[in-house]
Amino acid sequence: MPTVLILGASRGIGHEMVRQYRLEGWRVIATARKQEDCDELTQMGATAHQLDVTSADSIAALGWRLDDEKIDVAWLVAGVYGPSGSGFPTGPEFDAVMHTNVLGAMRLIPIVGPLLADTRGKLAVLSSKMGSIGARSGTEGTLYRASKAALNSVLADAAITYGAQGVTCVSFHPGWVQTDMGGSGATLTPEQSVRDLRATLAKVDKSGNGAFLDHDGTPIPW
Ligand SMILES: NC(=O)c1ccc[n+]([C@@H]2O[C@H](COP(=O)([O-])OP(=O)(O)OC[C@H]3O[C@@H](n4cnc5c(N)ncnc54)[C@H](OP(=O)(O)O)[C@@H]3O)[C@@H](O)[C@H]2O)c1
């Protein structure tokens, strides 16, 4: 039975990932910030751990808990949008978005990467098309865009470091998804997005290491 690690599974896309992987019989390790969300993940059949991606202590504690694990697939899902405008963010807004979306990944990937090397597994981060510089056509959510561009840089580094150890590292746009972040007017349900994301990652082979893909597998310019 393969093992998937889902980082940020209390709601939205991460929560739906837990549901679908369990349905397919995978062993699921999932994280959430709050104990009550961990309890719900346990009821869904996952092994749940508390994790706040902005806390170095919390990340270190997760590292200890995962120490002996061998993981086939890891999804880094946790993220925040921050201010929706294109003006100056405040310092606290900048810190909140960058610490969650970028620093969290920079601290988690060195813990998760080695656990994937044994299985020659796959690491996927949920970035966004809004982080693409090559496909940029608007400026709203400028802080979020900058954070996802930076996350893509972190993924590109992971592809070099862990790609050499047999891990396939991919950055994904999940589509515009009906979650708290995406809103009810979004074009995809979480069920559709996650079905596509899982199928696309399953098809990606070693040659896809370091790719930036839409949920359906279409390449996105960096
Ligand atoms: N929805 C879209 O249309 C869309 C489009 C492009 C990219 N994405 C990306 O896809 C990912 C998931 O988005 P979503 O739509 O599912 O968002 P969501 O419904 O707003 O859920 C966000 C998730 O991130 C978690 N999270 C936030 N800050 C955290 C922290 N400090 N520590 C641990 N977990 C934290 C939340 O946990 P809590 O419940 O504890 O807050 C929640 O599980 C994000 O990275 C997002 O940027 C989404």
**Residues counted in the chain:** 222
Quote the pLDDT of residue 34.
Answer: 98
Q: What are the residues whose beta carbons fall under 8 Å from the beta carbon of 134, sequence distance 6 or more?
A: 220, 221, 222
Any ligand 1 atom below 6 A from CB of 13? yes
Number of domains in the chain: 1
Distance (angstroms) between ligand 1 centre and the Cα of 7 equals 10
Taken in order 47, 173, 175, 78, the sign of the CA dihedral is positive
For residue 181, which atom of ligand 1 is closest to its CA? 20
Whether 221 is covered by a domain: the verdict is no
190-203 and 12-23 are packed helices; what angle lies between their axes, rounded to 10 degrees? 60
Whether 63 is covered by a domain: the verdict is yes
Residue range of the domain that includes 72:
3-214
Whether 156 is covered by a domain: the verdict is yes
Quote the pLDDT of residue 199.
Answer: 98
Sequential pLDDT tens for the chain (222 residues): 999 999 999 999 999 999 999 999 999 999 999 999 999 999 999 999 999 999 999 999 999 999 999 999 999 999 999 999 888 899 999 999 999 999 999 999 999 999 999 999 999 999 999 999 999 999 999 999 999 999 999 999 999 999 999 999 999 999 999 999 999 999 999 999 999 999 999 999 999 999 999 999 999 999
Whether 12 is covered by a domain: the verdict is yes
Any ligand 1 atom below 6 A from CB of 177? yes
User: Residue 166: left (phi > 0), alpha (psi -120 to 50), or beta?
Assistant: left
Distance (angstroms) between ligand 1 centre and the Cα of 32 equals 11
Whether 168 is covered by a domain: the verdict is yes
Q: Which of 33, 130, 172 to mutate to test the pocket of ligand 1 (most atoms within 8 A of CB)?
A: 33
Quote the pLDDT of residue 85.
Answer: 86
Whether 197 is covered by a domain: the verdict is yes
The answer to whether 35 touches 77, Cβ cutoff 8 Å, is no
Quote the pLDDT of residue 122.
Answer: 98
Q: How many CB atoms lie within 10 A of CB 180?
A: 9
Any ligand 1 atom below 6 A from CB of 106? no
Quote the pLDDT of residue 87.
Answer: 84
Any ligand 1 atom below 6 A from CB of 78? yes
The answer to whether 64 touches 112, Cβ cutoff 8 Å, is no
CATH number, domain containing residue 23: 3.40.50.720
Whether 88 is covered by a domain: the verdict is yes
Whether 220 is covered by a domain: the verdict is no
What does the H/E/C string look like for the chain?
CCEEEEECCCCHHHHHHHHHHHHCCCEEEEEECCHHHHHHHHHCCCEEEECCCCCHHHHHHHHHHCCCCCCCEEEECCCCCCCCCCCCCCHHHHHHHHHHHHHHHHHHHHHHHHHHHCCCCEEEEECCHHHCCCCCCCCCCHHHHHHHHHHHHHHHHHHHHHHCCCCEEEEEECCCECCCCCCCCCCECHHHHHHHHHHHHHHCCHHHCCEEEECCCCECCC
